[in-house]
Amino acid sequence: MRVVADRSAAPAAIRTDLGAIFVSLELSKSTWLITSLSPGSGEKISKHAVRGGDITGLLARFAQLQD
């Protein structure tokens, strides 16, 4: 007997039903690179840099992403 899987929706790289923001950090002494992927952004990764050690700048970026 042959079984066919239901594939009515195209697979997506990011699950938009989670309402999650995916963030990665690349930390060095001079620069911190912040990349993010948000639902509804067309699956485009955004990249921002802050000066290494700039916790205030990092938290400000997180706040912008949350909005």
In a domain, 2, yes or no: no
In a domain, 46, yes or no: yes
The range of the structural domain enclosing residue 53 comes to: 22-64
pLDDT at 2: 64
pLDDT at 11: 61
In a domain, 37, yes or no: yes
Tokens of 16: 């938009």
pLDDT at 55: 97
Number of domains the chain contains: 1
| Residue 35 near residue 46, CB atoms below 8 Å | yes
In a domain, 49, yes or no: yes
Sheet strands (E) in the chain: 22-27, 31-37, 46-51
Q: Which residues contact 19 (CB under 8 A, 6 or more apart)?
A: 39
pLDDT by 10s per residue, the chain, length 67: 566 555 556 666 656 677 788 899 999 999 999 999 887 767 789 999 999 999 999 999 999 998 8
- CA–CA separation, 7 vs 10, rounded Å? 7
In a domain, 17, yes or no: no
| pTM for the structure as a whole | 0.68
